[in-house]
Structure 1
Amino acid sequence: MDINIGIKAADRKVSAEAVSRLLADTYTLYLKTHGYHWNVEGPHFQQLHIQFMEQYTEMWTAVDELAERIRALGHYAPGSYAEMAALSNLTEESGRPDWKAMVTTLAKGHEQVAKTARDVLRVAEEAGDDATADIVAPRVTLHEKTAWMLRATAA
């Protein structure tokens, strides 16, 4: 069935590709945050364990909304970690960093997701894709605030 939502097919494609990059960054950061939640140790264990859980829970909800927006635009969302990794600006890391390195890494990750989300906003606005912009704008605010909180924790 044809899609007739007031956005040209080419613009929907560009918007969906941009949202796919945001989805990939968010999913990669979600995985990293969940792993840190499981493995954090040290004097701030309780605080960070809870903080990381709140963060990964929020991102888990966000990835679903982002993927569903890609589908509403008439495209397929990346569905495997290989696809996510190929699209993401974030990389996996091995080893067991200490709590402070975890916090620093996550702060940088949230900064990158905010940058990616800001790029998506520009694409969506140019495409006249108000719904995508409405979904993505709060993501910028959330990731910038989370990065600030993590930076303050590591100080």
Structure 2
Amino acid sequence: MLKRTLVALSFMLFAGAINAKPAPDFPLTLEQPTTLHALSKQGYVYVDFWASWCGPCRYSFPFMNRLKAELGDKGLTVIAVNVDVDPADAKPFLVEHPADFTIHYDPDGDIATAFAVRGMPSSYLIHNGEIVMTHVGFRTSKQQQMFDEIAAHLAD
């Protein structure tokens, strides 16, 4: 059973690398203005799309805080893109679920449309301007598997 699991995980990691596709680019204001593509050439970028009304998003925020805390110094940048029409709707959510990572707002949905987001939350691991991993939804029971998969990409 363990052998099957390892083979399946290896295939998923390898398939993600083979099926890498260009990521849509968008401007970001961090410490200095940049773009997603420019940032992804310096390391990996985990982009997560979320909304204040999204139940599973409440559980993904501690996970993203962990990603930043444990993998940030290994080259991972975490960006959460809020898709609420009114960015003010995100404020109570962020008070209840603080973010130790960058929050970017997409009230018109242009970035979410460019990424063809199919559900909330949706996350993308981007490197060198290409999407190398995609995940729709969030389950706490799967978070260690996701963490390990992201860490494996960073180790390459």
If the length of structure 1 is used for normalisation, what is the TM-score? 0.30
Q: Higher strand proportion, which one?
A: 2
If the length of structure 2 is used for normalisation, what is the TM-score? 0.30
Q: Higher helix proportion, which one?
A: 1
